[in-house]
Amino acid sequence: MPISGAHVIVSSHDAEADRAFFRDVLAFPHVDAGGGWLIFKLPPAELAVHPADSPTSHELYFMCDELDATLADLAAAGVTCVPVEEERWGRLSGFRLPGGSRVGIYEPRHPRATDLQT
């Protein structure tokens, strides 16, 4: 299959603030596609398809190896995260981007597709 990557789009009510967050707080490497339109390099990613009984949507979750340490780093950068929830598949928290979108962050307990050798 000639697919070489995936492009994630986050809809925002304040795109400039959210771009600055990804650039300055999360320190994601990026390119400028022109006119300040930043496109960010993401960490290795996974894709899951969940069943839906209501209108469909898309969600963004970041994975980390040590959730408590990651949340401490985010807090030091001024990011407020929701309390950690213990799920069967991992430890979950999240935060809002400046533009209002919710982003999840979790420490997985499930096998990671990102560990597969290609």
Topology of domain 15-45+54-115 in CATH is 2,3-Dihydroxybiphenyl 1,2-Dioxygenase; domain 1 (3.10.180)
pLDDT at residue 117, as a whole number = 78
Domain locations in the chain as residue ranges: 15-45+54-115
pLDDT at residue 19 greater than cutoff 90: yes
pLDDT level of residue 73 (50, 70, 90 thresholds)? very high
Is 76 a residue whose pLDDT tops 90? yes
Average pLDDT value for residue range 38-43 = 93
Residue of 96, 22, 6 lying closest to 30 (CA atoms): 22
pTM more than 0.85:
no
Average pLDDT along the chain = 91
CA 59 to chain centre: 9
Rounded average pLDDT over 93-114: 91
User: What is the structure's pLDDT at 1?
Assistant: 66
DSSP string of 7-39, one letter each residue: ------SSHHHHHHIIIIIS---EEE-STT-EE
